[in-house]
Amino acid sequence: MQLTRRVLAGSTAIIAAVLGLGLATAGPAAAASGTWRAYGNTNPITSSSSDWTCGTTVTVSSSVVAQTCIVVSPNRASMQGAVIVRNNRSSLFMANAYVSLFRPSGSQVLDTWKCPESGVGANSWSVCFGQTVLYPGSTYAKGTVNYRELPDSPPTGE
């Protein structure tokens, strides 16, 4: 299910975390560092005032789902790529993720960001964010979890 939401209920801490945006591509080539952020049982999309445009949620392992998103700041000045991982298991799930941003023409925006292997807590959400970059207009994200390609996010609006 494609997901685009704007929620005006984020705290400064969550907004700051979301704006630590980043980009990553679907491969283990040289990549900039991304950052994992644990959300516990709080949905990262609905707890943010930023606009999230996300691809289809897919199963990446038993009881673990993920999706690729592009996150645009409320003032539309900056953006970042993100990979959301939801672990519905009762135990830790180890994950790495890559995320990259692309213009509709297919040209890559800046870099690919990699979040190294980390544990996603039991029954919780974690997000791999790339770096925050200037928002150049319509952009989409590509991502992977544990080297499994995820569906692209739809392009953001201008």
* Better pLDDT: 102 or 2: 102
Task: For residue range 9-63, list pLDDT tens digits in order.
Answer: 222 223 233 333 333 333 444 578 999 999 999 999 999 999 999 999 999 999 9
Task: For residue range 87-135, list pLDDT tens digits in order.
Answer: 999 999 999 999 999 988 878 876 799 999 999 999 999 999 999 999 8
CATH for 54: 2.60.40
pTM score, whole prediction: 0.80
Task: Look at the chain and report how many structural domains it folds into.
Answer: 1
Contact 117, 22 (CB under 8 A): no
Q: Is residue 75 part of a domain?
A: yes
In sequence order, which ranges of the chain are alpha helices (DSSP H)?
A: 12-18
Q: Is residue 39 part of a domain?
A: yes
The boundaries of the domain holding residue 118 are 3-149
Q: Is residue 156 part of a domain?
A: no
* Better pLDDT: 112 or 66: 66
